[in-house]
Amino acid sequence: MLQKTSHFLRQANYIDGEWVQADSGETIDVVNPATLQVIGTVPKSGKAETRRAIEAAQRAFESWKKTSANDRAKLMRALHDAIMDNQDPLAELLVMEQGKPFAEAKGEVGMSAAYILWFAEEGRRVYGDVVPSPWADRRVLVTKEPVGVIGAITPWNFPSSMLARKIGPALAAGCTSVAKPASQTPYSGLAWGALCEEVGIPKGVVNVVTGSASQIGDEICSNPLVRKITFTGSTEVGKTLIEKSASTVKKVSMELGGNAPFLVFDDADVDRAVAGAMIAKYRNSGQTCVCTNRFFVQAGVYDAFVEKLAAASEKLKVGPGLEDGTEQGPLIDDGAVGKVEELIADATGKGGSVVTGGGRHALGGTFFQPTVIRDATADMRVMKEEIFGPVAPIFRFETEEEGVALANDTEFGLACYFYTGDLGRTFRVMDGLKYGLIGVNEGLITTVEAPFGGLKESGLGKEGGHQGIDDYLDTKYVCIGGLGL
Ligand code: ADP
């Protein structure tokens, strides 16, 4: 391990600028999914530690909100630089706890830095309005101010960048935060504490607490000092958090599950579609909420697409994320492997055929073969459930209307992709798809400049883009009268 990496491996909560253990002294083991070895521990904190973090964030908010956007941007630019100066060790830490290939981890850390820089700039453009007044002697102003303390809960698949999208706009808007990273991947979350400390972000502005998800989540939801909760994770947990936040009427933003369709029309460039499919399916071993879950391919190119995708899938190099040339790492844990196995068994039991892959990889542990299944049908579980693994079920369709209807036949609405060479079809299909993110002839579209977020049960609110700071701001209307004008 690089010396710098161990510097970021913090085995303590970061609360009010101090590195502290759980009150009980209990810890949680963190396991490297590639080796199944324990890397270290983190505190198993609960309600009391979370409450202290929230109270520290509230105290810090009183002064942080009064700093100028320019001063906050300066600190955020320093934070961006600190991340980039440590891109390799932060990426190594990420691979150790999460498993993804080093190049992907480095890309994620780079994205984290890019979000911080983006929001440093956006924070300086939080404009209000001066509205033409209907009264001759009054003036009408609309102002924006930070909402206050935010609670941020993040998953294990992007342990660094999911926090960047939350801590970034919070810092820029003048909010303070209490973050809870996923227990499988807490070190990339705690590294945010170390980085904030290093660049001189005042104590209490960013706090990171690890431990019991339900206890920390319950405190964040029920504590009236927290004015906004931002969550990335499953739809099931997201719904619970929305319900629990109702008692204190918090703002909520939710990045929840997806069930991304990937449509290939007869007029598409099939090689381009296969290249897009490889990244949209296998990035992070299929463990992203925007990963393709269902491929729908029009009859005229069905066989060609299946054959080419299977050939490309067979070439993917599976291995430990820190090994040179690895393109697909292990799955996060045994539970994930079990789910993928069940979904494959269900699909083959209902008439699907495995073209390549289909089971655990010879490397053992949680490594899994890139898998392509043809002749998928609507009654299979893969049509409805998030696979979160390297399995590509391919459905056949005949007409454009049928393809769009199949793609929309889900309660989710996060990402979708389609490939066509026809301009009219591009607009018809784009208009017909009920999704928050649409890639046309592209399989990877996330960027800090654009608003990321789902429709339907995939979520509420946007992260990134100029929209990404909106949820961290309250709007006030001020009417100034008696001006004697
Ligand atoms: P995933 O399937 O990606 O693990 P989860 O929704 O289970 O998705 O987890 C995402 C994040 O939500 C993690 O940080 C997890 O610890 C947290 N979490 C899980 N259950 C709860 C809960 N009841 N309350 C608050 N947070 C939770």
Residues whose CB falls within 8 Å of the CB of residue 73, separated by 6 or more in sequence, listed in order: 120, 121, 123, 124, 172
Ligand 1 atom nearest to 237, measured from its CA:
6
Backbone angles phi, psi at 127, to 5 degrees: -85, 145
The string of pLDDT tens digits covering residues 343-383 is: 999 999 999 999 999 999 999 999 999 999 999 999 999 99
How many helices and strands in the chain, by DSSP H and E? 14, 22
Beta strands in 299-398 (DSSP E): 353-356, 371-376, 391-397
The answer to whether the beta carbons of residues 459 and 414 sit under 8 Å apart is yes
| CA 153 to ligand 1 center in whole angstroms | 7
- Pair of tokens at residue 353: 């055929």
Is the minimum distance from the CB of 154 to ligand 1 under 6 angstroms?
A: yes
The answer to whether the beta carbons of residues 275 and 313 sit under 8 Å apart is no
Rounded CA gap, 102 and 323, in Å?
8
Is the minimum distance from the CB of 153 to ligand 1 under 6 angstroms?
A: yes
Kindly tell me the burial class for residue 297, based on how many C-beta atoms sit within 10 Å of its own C-beta (0-12, 13-18, 19 or more): buried
- Pair of tokens at residue 44: 């198993």
Rounded CA gap, 273 and 406, in Å?
19
The string of pLDDT tens digits covering residues 188-243 is: 999 999 999 999 999 999 999 999 999 999 999 999 999 999 999 999 999 999 99
Best of 162, 163, 236, 237 to mutate for ligand 1, by most ligand atoms within 8 A of CB? Answer: 237
Rounded CA gap, 329 and 269, in Å?
29
Rounded CA gap, 146 and 325, in Å?
45
Residue-level pLDDT at 110? 98
Please provide the size of the chain in residues: 485
- Residue in 108, 255, 457, 463 annotated catalytic: 255
| pLDDT over 90 (residue 2) | no
| Average pLDDT score over residue span 272-279 | 98
Best of 44, 153, 284 to mutate for ligand 1, by most ligand atoms within 8 A of CB? Answer: 153
Residue-level pLDDT at 19? 98
Is 255 marked active-site? yes
Ligand 1 atom nearest to 216, measured from its CA:
25
| Average pLDDT over the chain, rounded to an integer | 98
Amino acid at 86: N
